[in-house]
Structure 1
Amino acid sequence: MIYLHYFAGLKEEAGKAEESLPWEDGTAADVLQWAKTSYPAFDFSAVQIAVNEEYVLETEPVKPGDHVAFIPPVSGG
């Protein structure tokens, strides 16, 4: 099991802030592909992925128990 966390527009699109996903083995890219399939209306083109509160590349391994966050771009001033 991994724990997915959604922020901003993706949170609205998913209709929830978090969910769990049965998981054996894979990478951040595999989790991203699952999310793209599950939430096709959301634009993932600029989304950053964090695993256990650290930004990662898509090649990062994701293991059971990990927390994966999808973080869209933010702006401020």
Structure 2
Amino acid sequence: MTPGMFLTREELYELTGYKLISKQAGWLRRKNWRFEITASGRPIVARSYVEAMLGGTKPTKEEERFKPNYDAIRPGR
């Protein structure tokens, strides 16, 4: 079976060490990893981004395009 574009829930747990989605998102933010939040509130991470981060290679321009805009969600802005 071909792996999907995004990490599975189990893989995200393995990466972060957390089962709670709020804790997973917190871990990803603290580590400055690029991710998105789905409509259901679950963080998703591109498999190619994980491979680049853990493999020591620089993310591609396509991966850079999906960098979240944290300023849009910070209070007081």
TM bucket normalised to smaller? under 0.3
TM-score norm. by structure 2 comes to 0.24
Length-normalised TM-score, structure 1: 0.24
Of structures 1 and 2, the larger Rg is shown by 2
Greater RCO, CA 8 A, separation 6+: 1
More strand by share: 1
